[in-house]
Amino acid sequence: MEIEFDFRAEGSGLFGAIRRPVARVVLERGQVKLPEIFYVDSGADVTLIPLSVGELLGFTILRTHEITEIKGIGEKGVPILIRRLKMWLGDYGFTARVAWCLTEGVPPLLGREDVFKLFSITFERNRATVIRTA
């Protein structure tokens, strides 16, 4: 399988217009199938979804002692819960761990753990993200 996603043009306060690598991913939990656009982020350890996406998938907080914190750039962390989720890239389905962020304001990130080992991911000249099964 090979699937290609065009980079998405967005505004940047520092650089004006910038093109970012994205991929259309369908998240599946039970009877819910939810298409989302994710940033393809080779710097992210784990796939990340914001609070509202997790709620749409029916995630709930069962045990508060499972809440942990992850950090990206900078010192400020965000609270997360690790959940398992069926994901689809094109016709290829797989199960992956996702960090469900317990706040809004974080974009969906397609991270390395449980995802990148399944695919060969190439960023083509600031134009497209090409994803192939490994």
What are the sequence ranges of the domains in the chain?
Answer: 2-133
Q: Per the structure block, which two tokens stand in for 30?
A: 């039970």
Indicate whether 49 pLDDT > 90: yes
Mean pLDDT of 53-69: 93
Q: Per the structure block, which two tokens stand in for 111?
A: 């991270």
- The β-bridge relationship of strands 92-101 and 47-49 is parallel
**Rounded percentage of the chain residues whose pLDDT exceeds 70:** 100
Question: Which H/E stretch holds residue 99?
Answer: strand 92-101
pLDDT value, residue 63: 84
Distance CA 21, CA 127 (A): 8
- The β-bridge relationship of strands 22-29 and 32-40 is antiparallel
The pTM (predicted TM-score) of the whole model is 0.91
Q: Which CATH code of 3.30.465.10, 2.40.70.10, 2.170.130.10, 3.40.190.10 fits the domain covering 2-133?
A: 2.40.70.10
